[in-house]
Structure 1
């Protein structure tokens, strides 16, 4: 079992609904561990696009994942309805550490808790840049 405490739904300011899919399940009958990272990425990018104005197609700045981890407390499986809790643990000049959790619909305790770090870079040079103000403001609203 993980050494990290099991987060609660109330610990998160933003919740992104996710629909599990049939092919998310593995041979053991539950969502495969690598799929959780896809859920995390979808929740973060939805927030960045909708709340921070991130232009994933033509913007000058993009976020690269440089670190990630996940702890698992209980399994989920298709057709579970889930929500991904999102908060910001650390907001730096060019990087942000997200803290995420997976919640089954109507359950207060997380099934999994993860974290990953984005470094924002110039699309053309792949060099770190300061987080643009609209993104920074959106991320600041989620600081734990």
Structure 2
């Protein structure tokens, strides 16, 4: 698509390796479009847990996805090895917009690119809350 911006590897701050699975492919022989969202979610949450100290099981704060989108540029299929590029496009008081791209291992241009918006909430009340310090610091490290 000529009107789509380029998404290059150098544009992203962190990369999460993902192994495609046999059942990710659809009847057309490529990874089904909805699976890309699980790759995005896995990359974001791995980063939040490993770098930001997010406790997904017992923490007082959790992140809820409130918006997401994805644009597709080239097919991927099992057994492709991929990496999800991650950066932060906007960081608010209680929300963050992640910008993500999926790259086949070794490729400089993305096969797909998308975004996810998380709102951080208190687990007990489901009400928005400021992003905790360690988590905020990890997200600031991804700011573009």
Output the TM-score relative to the length of structure 1. Answer: 0.98
Q: 2:42 — aligned with what?
A: 42
Per-residue deviation, 1:6: 2.3
Q: Which shows bigger deviation, 60-69 or 3-12?
A: 3-12
> For 1:25-62, what per-residue CA distance to the aligned partner results, in whole angstroms no more than 9, with x for missing partners?
00000000000000000000000000000000000000
1:2 positional shift: 7.4
Runs of 5+ consecutive residues of structure 2 not aligned to the other structure: none
- 1:73 is aligned to 73
Q: How far is 1:13 from its partner? A: 1.1
2:90 corresponds in structure 1 to 90
1:59 equivalent to 2:34? Answer no
TM superposition outliers: structure 1 runs of 4+ over 6 Å: none
* Distance of 1:83 and 1:114 partners within structure 2: 14
Alpha-carbon distance between aligned partners in 2 of 1:3 and 1:86, rounded to the nearest angstrom:
22
Q: Structure 1: where are the runs of 5+ without partners? A: none
Residue aligned with 1:18, SS: strand
Deviation, 1:24, is 0.1
Q: State the secondary structure of the residue aligned to 2:98.
A: strand
**Match in the other structure for 1:104:** 104
1:122 and 2:122 are equivalent in the alignment = yes
**1:60-87 CA deviation, whole Å, 9 max, x = no partner?**
0000000000000000000000000000
TM-score with structure 2 length normalisation? Answer: 0.98
CA distance in 2, matches of 1:136, 1:95: 10
CA distance in 2, matches of 1:22, 1:111: 18
Counterpart-to-counterpart distance in 2, 1:4 and 1:135: 32
Kept after mapping to 2: 8 A contact 1:101/1:114:
yes
- C-alpha distance in structure 2 between counterparts of 1:5 and 1:40, whole Å: 19
